[in-house]
Structure 1
């Protein structure tokens, strides 16, 4: 997946790519594949940045992933959309905490705490 590949894709294709990458990231997390996890993190970031660069900041299209059955997909979508849909994006980590979905529950909790205390400011 190159920058050229991303720039030629539609918003819906980018959302689907984001979903696929987040699922792969979840698998890497569950199987302790740290190097793969880091590579997937940066690939997700590239998709997010491409959506951000689109007219009107199309990261909001990732909101359709807030209800995905996989907690990593929901968490990654929420993190990507905190600046464009702050209230709705906060609901996804809250759901992960309420359901005690391991291991994402830790990241979800830290994210909300950091947001509340001003240690994390989304951009």
Structure 2
């Protein structure tokens, strides 16, 4: 993972890093490498927060990742775009939940449940 200051990165660079690290995160989840998984989560939050803070909230640049072949990339992109594209993000989360591919399906299902009940309100 890069230690670049997000504010110095282009949207394309953020997109590429988000995709790359969430691909790695899938492997970490499947191999129970929790410290790697958590470190990547922290970086995803940094990248996404930077996009949110840009004029016009640029998290929508992550929307193409909702169609990515990697289930973890789709999951993280859906989680991080719920505030800006709730219908598309929910559709992706529902597809992941319905896949039954654990632990990803469980994560997607819990996020959907919390979002739909109002317990989780993405900003």
**Structure 1: gaps (5+ residues):** none
Q: How far apart are residue 102 of structure 1 and its match?
A: 2.2
- Post-superposition Cα deviations, 1:83-112, rounded to whole Å, max 9, x if no partner, equal 111111111111112222222000111111
So what's the TM-score if we normalise by structure 1?
0.93
For the aligned residues, what is the CA RMSD? 1.1
Alignment of 1:78-89 (within 5 A): 78-89=78-89
1:88 & 1:56 partners in 2: Cα distance? 19
1:122 & 1:29 partners in 2: Cα distance? 23
**Structure 2: gaps (5+ residues):** none
Alignment of 1:59-98 (within 5 A): 59-98=59-98
Q: How far apart are residue 53 of structure 1 and its match?
A: 1.3
**Corresponding residue for 2:3?**
2
1:39 & 1:10 partners in 2: Cα distance? 22
SS at match of 1:18: helix
1:90 & 1:114 partners in 2: Cα distance? 12
2:16 & 2:72 partners in 1: Cα distance? 14
2:101 & 2:61 partners in 1: Cα distance? 24
2:75 & 2:19 partners in 1: Cα distance? 11
So what's the TM-score if we normalise by structure 2?
0.93
